[in-house]
Amino acid sequence: MLMEEKLVVKELEKGKELANQLMNNFKNPSSSSKDSNEVLISEILRCFENTIARMMSLEKKTLKRSHERSNQSNKKSRMLEKKKTENVKICVGTGQEGTPLDDGHCWRKYGQKDIHGSKNPRGYYRCTHRFTRGCLAVKQVQKSDINPMCYEVKYVESHTCDITPSTTKHSLPVSQEEERKLHDAKQCEDTMKHMKPEELRLSIEDLDYKKDIFRTFSFSNPEMDDDFVEWKDLMENLSPTTSESGITNEFHISPTDDSCFSSLENILGSTQDLSWM
- Which residue ranges make up the site for DNA (CB under 7 A)? 2-3, 61, 65, 68-69, 106-117, 122-124, 126, 128, 138, 140, 156
Tell me the closest approach of the beta carbon of residue 151 to DNA, in angstroms: 14
Tell me the closest approach of the beta carbon of residue 36 to DNA, in angstroms: 23
User: Among residues 113, 152, 110, which one has the least CA distance to residue 131?
Assistant: 110
- Residue closer to DNA by CB (options 68, 212) is 68
Tell me the closest approach of the beta carbon of residue 187 to DNA, in angstroms: 26
- Residue closer to DNA by CB (options 112, 242) is 112
Phi-psi domain of 156 (left: phi exceeds 0; alpha: psi -120 through 50; beta: other): beta
Report how far residue 218's alpha carbon sits from residue 250's, in angstroms, rounded to the nearest whole number.
Answer: 6
- Residue closer to DNA by CB (options 161, 200) is 161
- Residue closer to DNA by CB (options 106, 268) is 106
Tell me the closest approach of the beta carbon of residue 213 to DNA, in angstroms: 18
Angle at 94 between CA 91 and CA 100, to 5 degrees: 50
For 41-103, the DSSP string reads HHHHHHHHHHHHHHHHHHHHHHIIIIITTTSTTHHHHHHHTPPPEEEEEEE-TT-SS--TT-S
DSSP alpha helices (H): ranges in the chain? 3-27, 34-62, 74-80, 130-133, 167-170, 176-184, 197-214, 226-236, 259-272
Would you call 186 helix, strand, or coil by DSSP? Answer: coil
- Residue closer to DNA by CB (options 154, 211) is 154
Tell me the closest approach of the beta carbon of residue 259 to DNA, in angstroms: 22
